[in-house]
Amino acid sequence: MATRTSSPSTARSSGARGGSARGGSSRAGSSRGGSGRAGSSRGSSSRAPEPERRAWPARLGRGLWMGSAHVVGGTARRVGSGARDLDPALRRDGVAFLLLGLAIVVAAREWFGLSGVAGDAIHAVVAGGIGVLGALVPVIGVVMAVRLMRHPERSSDHGRESIGLALIATAVAGIIHVAQGTPSPKVNFAGVQAAGGVVGWLVGTPLTVLLSSWVSIPLLVLLGVFGLLVLTATPVAAIPRRLREAGARLRGGEVVEEVHPAQAADGTPRPRPPRPRRRSAGDEAYARAHETDPPAETEDEDRTTVLPMAATAADEEDEAGTAELLPPPTTPLPARAEQLELAPDIVYQLPGDTVLVKGAPHKVRSAANDRVVEALTNVFDQFEINAQVTGFSRGPTVTRYEVELGSGTKVERVTALSKNIAYAVASADVRILSPIPGKSAIGIEIPNADRETVSLGDVLRSSAARRSEHPMVIGVGKDVEGGYVVANLAKMPHLLVAGATGAGKSSFINSMITSIMMRATPEEVRMVLVDPKRVELTIYEGIPHLITPIITSPKKAAEALEWVVREMDARYDDLAAFGFKHIDDFNAGVRSGRVQPLPGSERVIAPYPYLLVVVDELADLMMVAPRDVESSVQRITQLARAAGIHLILATQRPSVDVVTGLIKANVPSRLAFATSSLADSRVVLDQPGAEKLIGQGDALFLPMGAAKAMRVQGAWVTESEIHAVVDHVKSQMQPSYRDDVAVVATKKQVDEDIGDDLDLLLQAAELVVSTQFGSTSMLQRKLRVGFAKAGRLMDLLESREIVGPSEGSKAREVLIQPDDLPSCLAMLRGEPVVEDDGDGPPVAVDYGDDDETGDEDAWSLTNR
Ligand SMILES: Nc1ncnc2c1ncn2[C@@H]1O[C@H](COP(=O)(O)OP(=O)(O)OP(=O)(O)O)[C@@H](O)[C@H]1O
């Protein structure tokens, strides 16, 4: 499922420098360097007599020329390398000033008629190039310069904007050229300058000759429109929304980024009526992925909505793992601005992009990297190893230096040097990869002396994150090449997070929960947070995504896991009843109106939210109830994926008694922060490596299906940012907690005389009460049991005062009304009876195979 969509830039320049520095001393290098020197000496010896034959003025002239060439060349090289070392922000300012200068020069000629040779030259270039459009060049230059200076971080925007402008200019120049009667530069260059310039001539003339002006003008208009779309980063599909946004802005109103069904102001969730919707590409992709029939398309309503559960096409490409990498620059994609309405008066607005701050721009190279290249080169020299540093990829925390071996050099010669390398670069945390996956090169990962923090905001604003609208996509961090890493928790489908204390687990969990709050409404994702340490997650108390208050007691936590198992079973029953294999299909069916309540049921069917269960310290739970926890985890992890339930288990003690074989076998994705020992690394990742990590969010990420762990620097979100997001989501909605998560905490006491017949007895009670007919032969028939068993069931019902005593051949009197059935069944099960407070169905009831009534348990998570 992992897709490396593109590889971020790899800085090779210093590698080349390292290589050349090394060139003089390594064997390969020395032969090259040597031949270079030999060549020059040979050259000078063979030409030596020649200068002597020249006259001294010629020799002087040549000497002066060579000397000045040296000075100029050396200065240029120094300026060049200085410019490379210049802060990128200053470099961008330089470009902006250049644009301003250009704008002034062009304005002087095109606006104020500067005369003379300079004026003529400027006019020849500008008007000759784009004709009358040249008059706009100063304005465009100033606008671009101001944008460059004000938003240096939007470098990729500037590239796109330039392309858009170029397309528009080409199209307009072409149109003007055609409109002016296609003047030829050979015959009438002034005419060309007064039309669309050479650019206009180049596009306008061939089109007009081939297709006539009637066809060429519409084509050029199309080109111009396309340029406009590129300039404004507007896909055609987003035009109506952009227009709506623009209209809203013009009217002075706020643009609602995303609006979702929520609940009434008093906190009561409103059931969402099934609403037909147009099927999106996401649905199609999703349906393909799950090999089920795509949801029927009900025709149809007046607008297209974004289906929150639908996997995007990009997700579907993501076959081999769960992580996705992209280079740091991001193209601003259209914000998620579709409005999903539940009731006209209720909206849920996701936190705005700006709540999370921007991080510092990523450096692809720094002086510290150059020093390391030099140190590595020296080590190879000292140990006479024919190897050279050919480049490096700088990540936020570590840089991976690429080392290529000369022919005949053993890989082991470099790997055996790890201690010397560590000594030379003054860092104990050197990690050697041989080879770098997919490359014939050894990777040496060395911590950056000037490490960078990865801001979660940047990760969530990256195109990798924005391309997918899946609500379970979270920002993970950046990889060693500086590419953003995001992951879809729904595809993990369960994740083990481990690392020594202080290594960065809690920070990751914060980033994860914040990502969910930033991207998903409570209708899309609900959470159960288990925090036995009582400090880590308290900040999230009261957010509407919670279905129960944060659980801090390990015992209750173990029991909450049992509740999760029951919730999963209930969802499965629902899926089976409606003929779906996956909760996403069910949800799509609900949204398309295909899923309707069974006849006679008053249930209002709503989509199921994903359920994310986060346990921040598995060890605490394993100490209290190892067996129960292990078996719950096993059941959940084996089945929960289709039910939309996902587990995140974190521990700072990744030892075999906490992360047991059973748990490991069922939690396929792993995220290891620095561990205190190699043994711990093996427990988490089944391989060494995590013991070499340097802490503070440095991690190895092994998503399900990935062969090799990927090194990432975890995203960082500050406490004040979390507070801002929490305040925002809390201001949107109150949590509506389910009380049966706590009810499960009471041990069930099934009466001894019922023994193994509980299931049959429940069915018998349900039959008798719902039909109000206390007949033993009916039980025999309906339950397909013998006379003796049916008689025993009837006796049990009598002993619980559900039916009256036997009246011979007549049916018994039924003492319980159908309304009281749920509490009656709970009593038989040994569960505490929860009084119905009128807000919804009372206790969670498992009706076995009975679909009609069993629905109520299953839908409870969304509708209670
Ligand atoms: N992704 C990160 N970026 C920058 N700094 C980080 C990151 N993660 C952790 N740190 C730094 O490391 C410190 C400890 O991190 P954190 O509290 O997440 O560790 P932990 O593994 O949860 O420890 P414990 O198990 O004791 O709770 C943080 O206070 C922060 O200074």
Kindly indicate the confidence band of residue 75, based on its pLDDT and cuts at 50, 70 and 90.
low
Q: What is the pLDDT of residue 754?
A: 81
Tokens of 460: 């969530």
Tokens 């690394």 correspond to 681
**391-405, 574-588, 712-726, 769-783: range with highest mean pLDDT:** 712-726
**68-82, 137-151, 781-795: range with highest mean pLDDT:** 781-795
Question: Cα(203)–Cα(424) distance, rounded to whole angstroms?
Answer: 60
Helices (H), 579-648: 583-592, 618-624, 626-643
Q: Is the dihedral of CA 217, 220, 226, 231 positive or negative?
A: negative
Pick from 733, 744, 814, 740: nearest CA to 775: 814
Q: What is the pLDDT of residue 64?
A: 63
Q: What is the pLDDT of residue 340?
A: 33
Q: Which domains does the chain have, with CATH numbers?
A: 88-233 (no CATH), 456-740 (3.40.50.300), 747-831 (1.10.10.10)
DSSP string, 284-330: HHHHHHHTSPPPP-----SS----TTPPPHHHHH--S-SEEEE-S--
206-220, 327-341, 355-369 — which is least confidently predicted? 327-341
Q: What is the DSSP letter of 656?
A: T
Q: Over 80: is that where the pLDDT of 374 sits? A: yes
Q: Over 90: is that where the pLDDT of 614 sits? A: yes
Question: Cα(620)–Cα(557) distance, rounded to whole angstroms?
Answer: 10
Q: What is the pLDDT of residue 24?
A: 34
For ligand 1, mutation pick of 484, 506, 615 (most atoms within 8 Å of CB)? 506
Q: What is the pLDDT of residue 67?
A: 63
Kindly indicate the confidence band of residue 77, based on its pLDDT and cuts at 50, 70 and 90.
low
Q: What is the pLDDT of residue 438?
A: 79
CB 823 less than 6 A from any atom of ligand 1: no
Helices (H), 644-718: 661-666, 678-685
Three-class DSSP category at 443? strand
Partners of 349 in beta bridges: 259
Q: Which residues does the annotation place in the binding site?
A: 499-506
Q: What is the mean pLDDT of residues 461-472?
A: 88
Kindly indicate the confidence band of residue 716, based on its pLDDT and cuts at 50, 70 and 90.
very high
Question: Measured from the CA of 536, which atom of ligand 1 is nearest?
Answer: 27
> What is the H or E stretch that residue 106 is in?
helix 88-110
Q: What is the mean pLDDT of residues 98-126?
A: 87
For ligand 1, mutation pick of 535, 539, 620, 696 (most atoms within 8 Å of CB)? 696
Tokens of 93: 């300012």
Kindly indicate the confidence band of residue 578, based on its pLDDT and cuts at 50, 70 and 90.
confident
Q: What is the mean pLDDT of residues 233-250?
A: 72
Q: What is the pLDDT of residue 56?
A: 59
Question: Cα(832)–Cα(830) distance, rounded to whole angstroms?
Answer: 7
Cβ–Cβ contacts within 10 Å for residue 808, how many? 4
**249-253, 477-481, 847-851: range with highest mean pLDDT:** 477-481
Q: What is the pLDDT of residue 756?
A: 78
Q: Over 50: is that where the pLDDT of 481 sits? A: yes
Which CA distances in Å does 353 have to 332, 349, 725, 809?
Answer: 11, 12, 10, 74
Cis peptide before 435 (omega within 30 of 0): yes
Q: How far is the CA of 528 from the centre of ligand 1 (A)?
A: 22
Question: Cα(721)–Cα(719) distance, rounded to whole angstroms?
Answer: 5
pLDDT in tens, 203-212: 999 999 888 8
Q: What is the DSSP letter of 846?
A: -
Tokens of 365: 């190279």
Q: Are 494 and 647 contacting, i.e. CB atoms less than 8 angstroms apart?
A: yes
Phi/psi for 345 (5° steps) reads -90, 0
Question: Cα(557)–Cα(570) distance, rounded to whole angstroms?
Answer: 20
225 contact partners, CB below 8 Å, separation of at least 6? none
Tell which wins on pLDDT, 20 or 530.
530
The arrangement of strands across the sheet holding 3-4 comes to 3-4, 323-326, 484-488, 473-479, 710-714, 698-702, 669-673, 495-498, 645-651, 610-616, 525-530
Q: How far is the CA of 499 from the centre of ligand 1 (A)?
A: 10
Nearest alpha carbon, ligand 1 atom 23: 502
DSSP string, 744-785: TTSPP---TTTGGGHHHHHHHHHHHHHHT-B-HHHHHHHHT-
Which CA distances in Å does 585 have to 187, 283, 287, 532, 591?
Answer: 68, 9, 8, 35, 10
- Reported residue count of the chain is 864
Cis peptide before 597 (omega within 30 of 0): no
Q: Are 145 and 103 contacting, i.e. CB atoms less than 8 angstroms apart?
A: yes
Q: Are 52 and 412 contacting, i.e. CB atoms less than 8 angstroms apart?
A: no
Q: Over 50: is that where the pLDDT of 96 sits? A: yes
Print burial letters for 137-155: b (CB count within 10 Å at least 16), e (below 16): bbebbbebbebbbeebbbe
Q: Are 233 and 331 contacting, i.e. CB atoms less than 8 angstroms apart?
A: yes
C-alpha angle 807/810/815, rounded to 5°?
65
CB 532 less than 6 A from any atom of ligand 1: no
Strand 442-447 with 698-702, pairing: unpaired
pTM above 0.80, yes or no: no
Q: What is the pLDDT of residue 616?
A: 87
Question: Cα(633)–Cα(662) distance, rounded to whole angstroms?
Answer: 9
Amino acid (one-letter) located at 395: G
C-alpha angle 401/406/411, rounded to 5°?
65
Q: Over 50: is that where the pLDDT of 147 sits? A: yes
Q: What is the pLDDT of residue 252?
A: 53
CB 505 less than 6 A from any atom of ligand 1: yes
363 contact partners, CB below 8 Å, separation of at least 6? 88, 394, 450, 452
CB 654 less than 6 A from any atom of ligand 1: no
Amino acid (one-letter) located at 130: I
Which CA distances in Å does 663 have to 265, 494, 495, 532, 731?
Answer: 42, 11, 11, 19, 38
Pick from 101, 207, 651: nearest CA to 93: 101
Tokens of 517: 């709050």
Phi/psi for 283 (5° steps) reads -60, -45
CB 703 less than 6 A from any atom of ligand 1: no
Question: Measured from the CA of 509, which atom of ligand 1 is nearest?
Answer: 18
Q: Cα–chain-centroid distance for residue 308?
A: 15
Catalogue the long-range contacts made by 81-85 (C-beta closer than 8 Å, 24 or more residues apart).
Answer: 84/13, 85/367
Question: Cα(718)–Cα(454) distance, rounded to whole angstroms?
Answer: 11
Question: Cα(305)–Cα(278) distance, rounded to whole angstroms?
Answer: 7
Percent of the chain residues past pLDDT 70, beyond the cut: 72
Q: What is the pLDDT of residue 261?
A: 30
> What is the H or E stretch that residue 59 is in?
helix 56-85
Cβ–Cβ contacts within 10 Å for residue 56, how many? 8
Q: What is the pLDDT of residue 282?
A: 33
Q: How far is the CA of 504 from the centre of ligand 1 (A)?
A: 3
Q: Over 90: is that where the pLDDT of 460 sits? A: yes
Q: What is the DSSP letter of 441?
A: S
Q: What is the mean pLDDT of residues 391-407?
A: 89
Kindly indicate the confidence band of residue 152, based on its pLDDT and cuts at 50, 70 and 90.
low
Tokens 């596009």 correspond to 203
Q: How many CA atoms lie within 13 A of 732 on its CB side?
A: 26
Nearest alpha carbon, ligand 1 atom 31: 696
- Chain mean pLDDT for the chain: 74
Question: Cα(371)–Cα(182) distance, rounded to whole angstroms?
Answer: 60
Q: What is the mean pLDDT of residues 530-546?
A: 88
Q: What is the mean pLDDT of residues 12-23?
A: 34
Which CA distances in Å does 246 have to 241, 249, 256, 341?
Answer: 8, 5, 12, 21
**275-284, 539-548, 655-664, 813-822: range with highest mean pLDDT:** 539-548
Pick from 169, 172, 191, 171: nearest CA to 182: 191
Q: What is the pLDDT of residue 233?
A: 75
Q: What is the pLDDT of residue 299?
A: 28
Q: Is the dihedral of CA 188, 191, 197, 199 positive or negative?
A: negative
Which CA distances in Å does 653 have to 621, 672, 680, 753?
Answer: 12, 11, 8, 44
Q: How far is the CA of 392 from the centre of ligand 1 (A)?
A: 27
C-alpha angle 723/724/727, rounded to 5°?
80
156-170, 473-487, 711-725 — which is least confidently predicted? 156-170
Q: Which residues does the annotation place in the binding site for ATP?
A: 499-506
Q: What is the mean pLDDT of residues 80-100?
A: 69
> What is the H or E stretch that residue 405 is in?
strand 398-405
Tokens of 341: 């309405």
Q: What is the mean pLDDT of residues 295-312?
A: 28
Q: Are 14 and 365 contacting, i.e. CB atoms less than 8 angstroms apart?
A: yes
199-203, 340-344, 719-723 — which is least confidently predicted? 340-344
Q: What is the pLDDT of residue 188?
A: 85
Question: Cα(281)–Cα(409) distance, rounded to whole angstroms?
Answer: 52
Pick from 261, 292, 257, 253: nearest CA to 277: 261
This complex has an ipTM of 0.97
Q: How far is the CA of 535 from the centre of ligand 1 (A)?
A: 14
- Cα distance between the two ends of the chain: 35
Partners of 774 in beta bridges: 812
CB 501 less than 6 A from any atom of ligand 1: yes
Question: Measured from the CA of 652, which atom of ligand 1 is nearest?
Answer: 25
Q: Over 90: is that where the pLDDT of 726 sits? A: yes
Tell which wins on pLDDT, 850 or 245.
245
For ligand 1, mutation pick of 448, 507, 673 (most atoms within 8 Å of CB)? 507
Which CA distances in Å does 216 have to 167, 175, 188?
Answer: 15, 8, 22
Kindly indicate the confidence band of residue 476, based on its pLDDT and cuts at 50, 70 and 90.
very high
Tokens 């003008």 correspond to 217
CB 697 less than 6 A from any atom of ligand 1: yes
Q: What is the pLDDT of residue 248?
A: 63
Q: What is the pLDDT of residue 332?
A: 35
Q: What is the pLDDT of residue 118?
A: 84
Tokens of 385: 């190893």
Pick from 766, 795, 797: nearest CA to 782: 766
Q: What is the pLDDT of residue 308?
A: 25
